[in-house]
Structure 1
Amino acid sequence: MHKKDVNDYLTEGLYGTRLPKDDERRKYLGTLRERIVLALTISQVMTDKGIAHLEQAMKEHPKTKLLMNGKVDIRFLKEEKRLANKYNIPYTIIQNEESDTNIGAVLTYDYAIDKENIFIPENNGTEKKEEEQNDDNFLKRLKKWFS
């Protein structure tokens, strides 16, 4: 281990003590990936697509806390707050102007649980089938026009 010099003390005084996995903490709203039960993207939070998954996770993990991205407008966080209050889960809005993350909300523990899959898919299978069906219908109409 090297000895600290004046620059190390100045940097620490200006920016605080460097935490392990700092980039990971910025991405996941101040927590580590290994502690997360469920992570929702900003788009999932804004469209309320992850609400059912979040509610189920809150039922299964009552000792967690909810971290929400402060860059998301407060009106989009109403449902998440309502669920947190319903299940007595503490929540915090994380306001970090220095980080650029696509994470909108994180349900997390204070200790590692190492859950393998923390994200829900952006598009579920039914939406994909509807898109494919619309494409097929469009192609059929296009063929009729040129027949």
Structure 2
Amino acid sequence: MTKKSVDDYLTEGIHGVRLPKEGERIRFLGTLRERIVIALTIGQVMSDSGLKKLEAAMKEHPKARLIMNGHVSYRFLKEEKALAAKYNIPYTTVTDEENKTDIGAVLTYDYAIDKEEIFIKEEEPIEEQQEETESTILDKIKKWFR
């Protein structure tokens, strides 16, 4: 081990002890990627597009806990909190004024589970796909009558 300099002691006194993988902790609301069951972006939390997968993950992992981003308005987090209460999962809201992240909520453990895929893939709603095909058919019919 190396000896600490005066600067090291001052930095620890001002900012606290440096944690390993600090960038990961900032992005994932204070936890590490290897501990996460599922992560939702802020957009997914605000649009409630990940609620079904979050609920399925909560059913499958009843001992996990939910961490939510405090920068997201309360009205958008209401559904996630209701799910956590329904499945008796403890939840916390974390607000980090110094650092910004694109993560809105994570379901996590206190130990590593090393899950390969933690993000929900964005899917285009079926209704929008159907509307696009209908509009192209209508456009073709309109062209016939011009």
TM-score (ref. length: structure 2) = 0.90
Distance 1:120 1:94 in 2: 21
- The answer on 1:2 being equivalent to 2:5 is no
Per-residue CA deviation, residues 55-76 of structure 1 (Å, 9 max, x unaligned), is 1000000000000000000111
Distance 2:134 2:15 in 1: 53
Distance 1:41 1:138 in 2: 36
Counterpart position of 1:73: 73
TM-score (ref. length: structure 1) = 0.89
Alpha-carbon RMSD across the aligned residues, in angstroms, is 2.1
Distance 1:127 1:42 in 2: 23
1:52-67 pair list within 5 angstroms: 52-67=52-67
The one-letter amino acid paired with 1:13 is G
The one-letter amino acid paired with 2:115 is K
Pick closer, same or farther for the CA change 1:125–1:74 going to 2, 3 Å.
closer
- The answer on 1:144 being equivalent to 2:137 is no
1:1-147 pair list within 5 angstroms: 1-124=1-124, 126=126, 129-130=129-130, 132-133=132-133, 136-137=136-137, 140=140, 144=143
SS in 1 for 2:7: helix
Deviation at 1:135, TM superposition (A): 6.7
User: Unaligned stretches of 5+ in structure 2?
Assistant: none
Per-residue CA deviation, residues 8-62 of structure 1 (Å, 9 max, x unaligned), is 0000000000000000000000000000000001011011111111110000000
Distance 2:5 2:137 in 1: 70
Pick closer, same or farther for the CA change 1:88–1:145 going to 2, 3 Å.
same
Pick closer, same or farther for the CA change 1:127–1:101 going to 2, 3 Å.
farther
Distance 1:116 1:48 in 2: 23
Distance 1:60 1:85 in 2: 15
User: Unaligned stretches of 5+ in structure 1?
Assistant: none
The one-letter amino acid paired with 1:103 is I
Distance 2:97 2:121 in 1: 27
Aligned residues: 146
Distance 2:34 2:68 in 1: 17
